[in-house]
Amino acid sequence: MDASISPNRLSSEIFMYQTLEVERQGSIARLWLNRPDKLNPLSLLTLEELIAAAAELNKDSALKVVIVGGRGRCFSAGADLGGFPKPEEAGARDAADTGRRMADALESINAVTIARIQGWCVGGGLVLAAACDLRVASADARFSIPEIDLGIPLAWGGIPRLVREIGPALTKELVMTCRPFDAAEALSAGFLNRSVAPEELDKAVDDLAAAINSRPAFPVQATKRHVDAVTANQVGLGRSWSDADSLLAGLMDPECQEARERYVKDRQKS
């Protein structure tokens, strides 16, 4: 099936990409990361498909809510760096910038976006969730930002988005220490709108989507755009254009390479 989504074909249908699945029922869509066997990694292909899906969803003016989730037991295990070009290869800079463009594309979806989070939400997956308007997680969800342990900075516009959601001090701590944190802490920090029992996750997400969907579209859109305009001035997302260069620098640094190797070995032992 063609990966593109035609606006006049969106009602009550399912559309498959190679790594995503898009469902549409009325004015609510569901955008699924669909590699559950791999814990929904954000490969270069997945990032490009997310950008394309966001653009296609934006063609439908009747769409009011988009729920973003991950199939299986995990929201996303984060970036799949293995499929990216090496820093010295052609196209490396463009590839390194794809995650930022993905987060910008998700944030630019006209409809209100709700991240549905279960299991692990790691690194780039956390940036994806932060690019959504609202976030609901299972109480047993776990969050981690392991980039510095991997010898790279948190890129993809992750720093300004985290500062926006949880503040500068906690952003520094979580990114610098790489310590995992749970849904209760994410809720108290303001990253989550709701944390519910695992068996209540779908109902909580559906109820929130229905509450937004039942309101008139114009003031909902005006509120989303107003809040986004205010916070864009506060955190300066436009500065993230250079994240790709910092990411490449981390991939080329010898000390960072040693850190990545230690991280991979430690993970293989555990």
Whose CA is closest to 155, among 86, 98, 90, 229? 98
Report yes or no on 265 lying in a domain. yes
pTM of the model: 0.92
Residue, of 4 and 180, whose pLDDT is higher: 180
User: How many domains does the chain divide into?
Assistant: 1
Range of the domain at 30: 7-199+220-269
Query: Can you tell me the distance from the alpha carbon of 78 to that of 159, in angstroms, rounded to the nearest whole number?
Result: 15
Which segments of 74-167 does DSSP mark as H helices, in order? Answer: 92-96, 98-107, 124-130, 158-166
Once rounded to an integer, what is the mean pLDDT over residues 198-218?
A: 98
Report yes or no on 127 lying in a domain. yes
Compute CA distances 1 → 16, 17, 58, 140, 188, whole Å.
Answer: 7, 8, 20, 36, 43
Residue indicated by tokens 């859109």: 221
Question: For residues 252-264, b (16+ Cβ closer than 10 Å) or e, as one string?
Answer: eeeebeebbeebe
The amino acid at 4: S
pLDDT tens string 75-125: 999 999 777 888 888 899 999 999 999 999 999 999 999 999 999 999 999
Those residues whose C-beta lies under 8 Å from the C-beta of residue 222, and which sit 6 or more positions away, are none
Once rounded to an integer, what is the mean pLDDT over residues 173-194?
A: 98
Q: What is the CATH number of the domain that holds 96?
A: 3.90.226.10
Report yes or no on 211 lying in a domain. no
Report yes or no on 147 lying in a domain. yes
Report yes or no on 1 lying in a domain. no
pLDDT tens string 130-139: 999 999 999 9
Report yes or no on 52 lying in a domain. yes
pLDDT tens string 43-69: 999 999 999 999 999 999 999 999 999
Report yes or no on 67 lying in a domain. yes
Report yes or no on 213 lying in a domain. no
